[in-house]
Structure 1
């Protein structure tokens, strides 16, 4: 082939993939097709063979009512059918027009009603149509009684061949790689046998597969037909070709017709096999002579395809369940090994390499955790494993499986004799980690129907170069290299389940470590608080005694010593406060903060707070007020409630400028007492307000001694009482803190 021919071939191949098979603009000649407007049922388009079949010219029918062509009685039947909700799935209508019997099929698509009048097949020989239902019932019972998938396949092809009379009936299954394999066949002895052969993906292009997925059945009675064009060519309402995706009479690609002839058949019928909404395979029927299977028999075959689809899905699901159940005991052993390990989950797995390999029938296994790499069995070299693992990490797939690794990771070709397949899983951790199972290369010969590298060819015609489907279907043996045994659904399930267990165990270990760290911190805080409290008390007492010995009215040296003692007392008091805050914080963090609630009178609490805190306000000439509804009683811990009030009121006084105001009030709302502390200070910036109760948050400006724990502890105390606390603030207008405590009835 010259470079020019090669370029032409590539262009024609691309055009073939884009061939508008849903919009052929024509139908097969074993019937005629009309598109109708609704509700008037005026004829919009009609196939050109209406002239030969019904002696009416297409132009004379466009715009005319349907009854002008088929009569009022048959039109009434069409209207009755349209009144049914599932009319497209109903039995065909039967018409007798111009001496020819027709079966009428109706469906709507893309805003237009399509009526197909298929010529009725009389005296069909292979099986009496009247006995179809009886035979179908018996066959469905046989399908349901089948215990293996292969038995299902064999029953289906034999029965469909007996019912229809096709020379060959086979089941074709699509593989993950895109190509397909014939897995069952019933053929006339004189036919070439295709059972077991593989066919390249290009034999059934993607858009053709989509039509098979959306249509249960397609029939071509005679591949030697001349397409019948639609008149007019385009839909008058949209000026676009008519979409015939769901039309029984839809004309097919001329390349496909030639493909059929090259296979030695002139008639075909295809029944789709679906798994969920995915095209699983096809029941493909072929006959050496033209053969038009009647609608009733086609529907019986379609039913077989639907039942077979359900049975295949059910039996594959059952097989998957069996595969999974076979792994459960081994997975439980490995899970226990991870639990028992004192180090990490990967260390636990590394103690059981043989069990891990047996889990998925691997030839070798590698475990990676940070700098550690454990290898068992037949594995690539360490640096090769590290490079492969890095590539797997970049893919970011929790579980990866391939039985042809070099096809997606070319460096694997260097060690494909040792490893051609890999199954891998990893955990979301900051260090490199993972388990990689390896399978060795298994060289085998694959029998293809013809050369898979040449599904299409070029030929010269009057119009120039054009594509020609391959003419040879002889067995073509290809040795497959760099391929291992496939990983089964059970193998992939096992990898996923092991990953889930490893993840749960790893997270449990992290939680335990964090809990132990918190417990150790709490114990340290408690010890430090206890051990320091007594010395700090002694220091404070000694400072007081020394203070009396040095009068501020004494000598200059005495005044300096007195000032130093004041500073020591302040520092000691601050350290005591900080120790108390740290102890409270550790208890709140650990969820061990306890209170001793008792009945309290709010008025008495306010009196105590007023006597202790008013002097602080007076030092800054701040006006402070306490207001409470009469006879308010709460159920609270007196020391902790006073701690909350003193913290909030103390902050309000601290951050309110001279001559400002602070108001404290309490009132009954439902089953709670709402306390509020309002000030006229500078307020809290809006971006800081959501964080005021965070641990260690504090306003730095004008608050050099703040620890950032006061409001955090205040919130913990309130919540320990079963209440909640909120803060509101407007810069320049002050702040308000409100908290609730259960009311005592």
Structure 2
């Protein structure tokens, strides 16, 4: 084939995939199709064969009422059927028109009512309808009693062949890669057997699969038919082709008809098998001679397909459950190994190599934790594993599975003998980690019905090059290189469950380490605070004694020493405050901050606070006021609550300029007391306000001695009381801090 022919071939393949199979503009000739207006039932379109089957000219029927074609009584049946809420529940209608028996089928689609008058097959060669119903009941019982999927498939194809008389009935299952495999077959002795063969994905294009998904059954009684056009060709209301997706009589692609002939059949019927809302496979029937299966019998076959779909889903679910149950014991053993490991979860797994390999029937495993790499069984070399692990981590998948690793990771071609398949898990950690299971290459021959690399061919015609369905259905032996056995649902479940257990154990270890670190830090802070507090007390005492010996009113040397002593005493006091803050912060961080609440009178507490804090305000000529609603009682720790007030009022005084105002207020709101500390200072910038309660946050300007722990501890104390605290501020107009404490109730 020339390069030009190759380009034409690819273009024709694309056109084939885009063929308007939903809008063929024609039907098969074994019936008449009409589109009708509602509610008048005026004829909008009609198939051209109405002239041969019902002796009426199609053009003369357009715009006429349905009664003019089929009669008043028959039209009345149609009107009665339209009263049903769902036309899919309406049983077929039976008419006798122009000495021919017809079955009437109704459906609505895209705003139009479609009536199909299919020629009814009389004296069909198999069982009568009543006999079929009895036979169907017994068959459904056998389907439901099947204990394996293969038994289920075999019963279905044999029974459908017996009921319909088709030369070949097979079940075709779609694989994840897109192609399909025949997994059950019942055929006449003279038919070529297809059981076990694979068919390329291009045999059933994507748009055809979508029609199979939305329609349970399709039939072609005779592939040698001449399509019957609709009159008029386009819908008068939309000037577009009529969508015949759900029409039984819909004309099919001429390529498909030729495909059937190449397979040696002239008649076909397909029944969809669905798993949920996805197309799982097909029951495909074929006959060497034309065969028109009656509608009643087709309905029975459709029921079989629906029951088989349910049974397949149920039995596959049972199989998945069985596979999972097989893994439970090994997973429990591996989980315990991870728990018992003194190092890390991967070290625990490394002590159970045989269990880990048997978990997924792997030929080898690799376990990675930072610099450590453990290999067991048949594995790639360490450098190859490290490179593969990096590639896996770059993909970012928690669980990765492939039975053709070289197809997505070309370097794996170098070691596909031991690792054509890989299943891998990893944890979200800053170091390289993970478990990789390897499976070796399995040299297997897959039987293709025809060359999968050349599903269609080209032929010359008067119109130029056109696609010709392949005529060869000979078995092609295709050796699959670099392929391992597929990872099962049970293997994937095991990998996911092991990763979940590893993640839980790893997080538990981190939590324990952090808890131990917090305890160690708290103990260190407590020891350091205790050991430093005594020297600070001694320093303060010595400073007091030295101050008596050196007067600030004495000579120059005496004044310098006195100033130095004041500085030392102030530094010692600040050191004591810092030690207390560190102890409080450590307790708050660890969630062990303890208060001893009791009944307190707010008014009395304010009097004590004013006597202790007012002198600080007077030093800056700041007006300070404490006022509370009468008879307020709270449930609080007096020492800790005074620490809150002292901190808030102290900050208010510190950041309020001379002649400013500070106000402390308390009032009852519901079952809480709301305390407010407000000032007339410069306020807090908007961008800083969300951070005022953060640990170690400080205002830099005018606060040279701030530790950044005061408001953090204040918040911790308030929350330990079950209250909340917040801050509001407007630069240039001051700040306001509000906190709540539970009201005391008898």
Band the TM-score falls in, shorter-chain normalisation:
over 0.9
How far apart are the structure 2 equivalents of 1:370 and 1:742? 52
**Structure 1 residue 689, shift from structure 2 partner:** 2.0
The equivalent residue for 2:330 is 330
**Structure 1 residue 73, shift from structure 2 partner:** 2.7
How far apart are the structure 2 equivalents of 1:59 and 1:734? 91
The equivalent residue for 1:443 is 443
How far apart are the structure 2 equivalents of 1:657 and 1:116? 94
How far apart are the structure 2 equivalents of 1:36 and 1:613? 94
How far apart are the structure 2 equivalents of 1:115 and 1:12? 35
How far apart are the structure 1 equivalents of 2:557 and 2:37? 113
Unaligned runs of at least 5 residues, structure 2? none
**Structure 1 residue 596, shift from structure 2 partner:** 0.6
The equivalent residue for 2:646 is 646
After the TM superposition, which of the residue ranges 472-481 and 438-447 deviates more from structure 2? Answer: 472-481
**Structure 1 residue 240, shift from structure 2 partner:** 2.2
How far apart are the structure 1 equivalents of 2:52 and 2:627? 103
Is contact 1:220–1:267 with CA below 8 Å preserved after alignment?
A: yes
After the TM superposition, which of the residue ranges 372-381 and 256-265 deviates more from structure 2? Answer: 372-381
Change (3 A) 1:567 1:53: same
How far apart are the structure 1 equivalents of 2:524 and 2:492? 48
Is contact 1:421–1:485 with CA below 8 Å preserved after alignment?
A: yes
The equivalent residue for 1:414 is 414
How far apart are the structure 2 equivalents of 1:41 and 1:677? 82
**Structure 1 residue 211, shift from structure 2 partner:** 1.1
The equivalent residue for 1:524 is 524
SS at match of 2:125: coil
The equivalent residue for 1:249 is 249
SS at match of 1:416: helix
How far apart are the structure 2 equivalents of 1:562 and 1:601? 43
User: Cα deviation per residue 1:284-312 (whole Å; 9 max; x = unaligned)?
Assistant: 00011111111111111111111111111
The equivalent residue for 1:188 is 188
Is contact 1:88–1:105 with CA below 8 Å preserved after alignment?
A: no
**Structure 1 residue 322, shift from structure 2 partner:** 0.9
Aligned counterparts, 1:10-25, within 5 A: 10-25=10-25
The equivalent residue for 1:292 is 292
Task: State whether structure 2 residue 560 is matched by structure 1 residue 566.
Answer: no
SS at match of 1:321: helix
Is contact 1:680–1:733 with CA below 8 Å preserved after alignment?
A: yes
Task: State whether structure 2 residue 260 is matched by structure 1 residue 283.
Answer: no
Is contact 1:448–1:478 with CA below 8 Å preserved after alignment?
A: yes
How far apart are the structure 1 equivalents of 2:85 and 2:575? 83
**Structure 1 residue 372, shift from structure 2 partner:** 1.9
The equivalent residue for 2:743 is 743
The equivalent residue for 1:264 is 264
Aligned counterparts, 1:559-708, within 5 A: 559-708=559-708
How far apart are the structure 1 equivalents of 2:545 and 2:295? 114
Task: State whether structure 2 residue 86 is matched by structure 1 residue 90.
Answer: no
The equivalent residue for 2:143 is 143
**Structure 1 residue 480, shift from structure 2 partner:** 1.7
Is contact 1:42–1:64 with CA below 8 Å preserved after alignment?
A: yes
The equivalent residue for 2:474 is 474
Report how many residues are paired.
745
How far apart are the structure 1 equivalents of 2:173 and 2:49? 37
How far apart are the structure 1 equivalents of 2:712 and 2:730? 21
How far apart are the structure 2 equivalents of 1:685 and 1:224? 87
Change (3 A) 1:686 1:38: farther
User: Cα deviation per residue 1:266-300 (whole Å; 9 max; x = unaligned)?
Assistant: 00000111111111111000011111111111111
**Structure 1 residue 731, shift from structure 2 partner:** 2.1
SS at match of 1:417: helix
User: Cα deviation per residue 1:328-383 (whole Å; 9 max; x = unaligned)?
Assistant: 11111111111111111111111111111111111111111222221111111112
How far apart are the structure 2 equivalents of 1:58 and 1:729? 86
How far apart are the structure 2 equivalents of 1:573 and 1:77? 103
User: Cα deviation per residue 1:513-546 (whole Å; 9 max; x = unaligned)?
Assistant: 1111111111111111111111111111111111
How far apart are the structure 2 equivalents of 1:195 and 1:729? 82
**Structure 1 residue 168, shift from structure 2 partner:** 0.5
**Structure 1 residue 414, shift from structure 2 partner:** 1.6
SS at match of 1:169: strand
The equivalent residue for 1:385 is 385
**Structure 1 residue 609, shift from structure 2 partner:** 0.8
Aligned counterparts, 1:362-381, within 5 A: 362-381=362-381
**Structure 1 residue 98, shift from structure 2 partner:** 2.5
Change (3 A) 1:659 1:67: farther
Change (3 A) 1:567 1:37: farther
After the TM superposition, which of the residue ranges 711-720 and 64-73 deviates more from structure 2? Answer: 64-73
User: Cα deviation per residue 1:409-458 (whole Å; 9 max; x = unaligned)?
Assistant: 12211211222111111111111111111111111111111222221011
SS at match of 1:558: helix
Is contact 1:221–1:267 with CA below 8 Å preserved after alignment?
A: yes
Is contact 1:198–1:447 with CA below 8 Å preserved after alignment?
A: yes
The equivalent residue for 2:551 is 551
After the TM superposition, which of the residue ranges 376-385 and 46-55 deviates more from structure 2? Answer: 46-55
SS at match of 2:419: coil
How far apart are the structure 1 equivalents of 2:69 and 2:87? 21
Change (3 A) 1:63 1:564: farther
How far apart are the structure 1 equivalents of 2:72 and 2:542? 119
**Structure 1 residue 583, shift from structure 2 partner:** 0.5
How far apart are the structure 2 equivalents of 1:423 and 1:640? 58
How far apart are the structure 1 equivalents of 2:71 and 2:621? 105
Q: CA RMSD in A?
A: 1.3
In the superposition, the TM-score normalised over structure 2's length comes to 0.98
**Structure 1 residue 496, shift from structure 2 partner:** 0.6
Aligned counterparts, 1:27-176, within 5 A: 27-176=27-176
**Structure 1 residue 691, shift from structure 2 partner:** 2.1
In the superposition, the TM-score normalised over structure 1's length comes to 0.98
The equivalent residue for 1:536 is 536
Change (3 A) 1:639 1:56: same
User: Cα deviation per residue 1:120-158 (whole Å; 9 max; x = unaligned)?
Assistant: 111111221222221111101101111111110010000
After the TM superposition, which of the residue ranges 99-108 and 466-475 deviates more from structure 2? Answer: 99-108
Aligned counterparts, 1:447-462, within 5 A: 447-462=447-462
How far apart are the structure 1 equivalents of 2:558 and 2:423? 82
Unaligned runs of at least 5 residues, structure 1? none
How far apart are the structure 1 equivalents of 2:176 and 2:669? 67
